[in-house]
Chains A and B, each alone.
Chain A
Amino acid sequence: MRIRLPSLSARGSEAITAYLFLLPAALVLGLFGLFPLVFNAYISLFDWRIKHASFVGLANYGEIFGGAAPFFLLLASIALMTAGFALIRRKRKAPARVLGVLLLAGGAVALALDLPRIDLAGDSDMLRSFRVTVWYSLGTVPVQLVLGFLIAAALDGKFKGKQAFRVIYLVPYIVPTVATAAVFERLFSLRPESWANQMLALFGARPLQWLREYKGVFEMLFGPGLASGSDSPARYWVTWAGGPSLALVSIMIYNYWVYVGYYALIYANALAAVPRQLYEAASLDGAKPWTMLRRITLPLVSPSTYFLTILGIIGTFKSFNSIYVLRDPSTGGVTDPMSVYIFFQFFHDGRFGYAAALSVILLAIVVGLTVIQRRSMEKRVFFD
C-alpha cells in the first residue's frame, strides 16, 4: 500500500542530483583515467619525441615486433593457445579435448619459434623487460601465497596479542615504499659489510653482489654452461634458462617483506569465515588434518587465492617505486619490468610515441589477465 507515488519530476530531480554528485569524480576519472587510454593509442601512431611530430602509422609497433609477420604470428599463437585452453576446460568429450591439447601445443610451438624472431628483428630490450616481469610474477606470487597462508593459519582463532600481530604485519605494506626500499638497497648492497653479506659470512659463505648481480640465479647455481649457445632460436631460450638475475631475486625478497603480511590478513579474513561445523563434521568422519586442509579450507579460501594471485600478477606489471630505488643502472636492465622500461623510454629518451606504443601492449596484457581472472573466478566460485 503506497501512500504517495513519487511523481515523475521527483524521480527526474533525484537523477539530476545524482549526476551532479557524480560529476566532480567523473570529470577527474574521465580526464585522467579513461581519456588517456584513447589519447595514448593516438600518441603511439606518431614519431612523437617530446614535441608533436609526424604521423607514422603503426611504425612504432613495427619497431617493437620487428615487422608485421612476427606480430601476426604472435597474435595467432596466442589465439591458438586460448582456443585450445577453452576446449580443454569446457568440453568433456575426449576428441574435443585431444583437439584442445593439439591447439595448445601448436600455439606454444609457434610462440617458441616467434619470440626469438622478435628478439632478433624487434625490440629485444622490451622482450627482456617482459621476461623480467614474468620472472617477477613467478618468483613473488606463489611464495607470498604460501607464506601468507601459513601466517594466516597461525593468526586464526582467538589468542592473546592477535591484534598487535595484525597491526605489525601491515606495517611494511603501509609505510612509504621509497623509504623502506632505501633500507633494502643497503641490506642487499654488494659491500662486504652489508647485512646480507654479513649473514652469509655467519655461515662461512663468500659475499655476493646482490642488487648489482646481473647473472641469472640458475646460471650461478648450475654453472655458466647454460649461457653459451649458437645463433638458432635456442639461443633466445637460453637467456630464459639462466633464470632471474640475483638482483631481481633481491627485489623479490623486498616484495615478500612488503606483501606477505598483507596476504596473511586477507587470508585470515577468509579463514575466519569458514564455518567451524565443517571441521567438526569432517573430524567425526575421521578425516585427517591434511584432508581437511585440501577438501575444506583451500576450496573455501580459493576466492581469496584468485584475488591475491591476479592482484599480485597485475602488481608486477604496475610496479615502479621499489624498483626505481633498488635498480642499479650498471646491471643493464635485468631488474626492469615492462613498466620501468617504458618509463625510461619516455622519461630519459623522450620517445613519447614509442613509449606510448609499448604501454598500449602493457595495457592489452593487463586487460587480458583481468579477463582470465573474471572467467576463472566464475568457474571456481560455482564449482566448489
Chain B
Amino acid sequence: MNIWVFAEEDEGVPSTGSLELISKAQTHGDVHVFYLGAGSDASFAALGDHGASDVYHFDAGDTLASAPASAAMATLVESADIVLFGAGNMDRDIAGRLAARMGRPVISNALDFDGTDTITVFSEILGGTLGISTEFTAKSPAIIVTRPKAFTAEPTGGVTPTVHTVEMPDTGRSGGATVTERHVEASEGPNLEVAAVVVSGGRGLGSGDKFDMMHELAGLLGGAVGGTRAVVDAGWVPYSYQVGQTGKTVKPSVYIACGISGAMQHLVGMKGSATIIAINKDPDAPIFGLADLGVVGDVHKVVPQLIEALKARS
C-alpha cells in the first residue's frame, strides 16, 4: 500500500505526533513523508528510523504554509491510497485544503484505520461513549485526520530515507498570508503531553489566581498543569494548557481534575489516563463517571490539605 504522512518540525526535530503516524503507517506499506520545516540530516534520519522510505522536504519560510503545502501535496499524493494527518492546527489546515483541492472527503478524529481495497476508519463520538466505523466510498486517496496519541512512536532501525526538495508552488491569492512574528509561551515544569502526572483546573477553581495552587501541587508531584477549554477561554491560562478535543490529549499515570465538571470536550482529552482523581463539589458532575477516586468536596479545602500532606512527606 502507498501511504503518505504529513509530518511537521517542532523545535528542530520531527514532532512526536509525526513519528507516531509514521510508525503506524509503516505497518501498512511504503511510507512517503511530506515534511514541513527547516529540515536537517538529523531530522531526516529520525523520519527514516521510524519507517519513512522517502521524505519530501518543504520549507515554507515565512509564508503561512497551509496553502502552498496543500497545493504541493495534491500533486504528490495523486496515486496514494492513504494520506495521514495528525490533529495539530497545521495538520487540519492542510488536510482540509488538500481534500477540497482534490475533491475527496476527510475522516477526522481517527483512532485507527484498516483495510486494503476499502479503507475503514474507527473513531469515537459523544465523549468516547460510542465507537463508529466509517468507510471511504470515494476515489483514493483516503484522507485521514487522526487523534493525538492514537498510535505509538517506535524506532524501527530503518534506513536513511531519500530526501527530495519540494519547490514553493504559486498559489496566488490563497498563498498570500505571511507569518510576521512567532511567540513561544513557555510553561513551567515538564511537558504536558508527556508528564507522568497532570494536575488540571476547571471553572470550579473560581478565578485564575487559583492556578498558583495547581502549579504548587504539580510541582510537588513532578507533574504538569493543564486546564479545560472554559478556563482557557476565560483567559486564566494560555491555550497551550488546554486538555480536550480542541487542545492536547494526555495519558499520564495520574490525572488530577480539580473543579472540572467533565464536559465531553474535556473528557476526550484525558480519559486515557491510567488513574483519574477528581475533586468537585457537585456529586452529579460527569467527571465522577470516569474517576478511579472521586472526592465530593471543596477544591479550595482539599487541594491545600493535599499540598501540606505532600510537603510533610518530602
Chain A partners chain B:
no
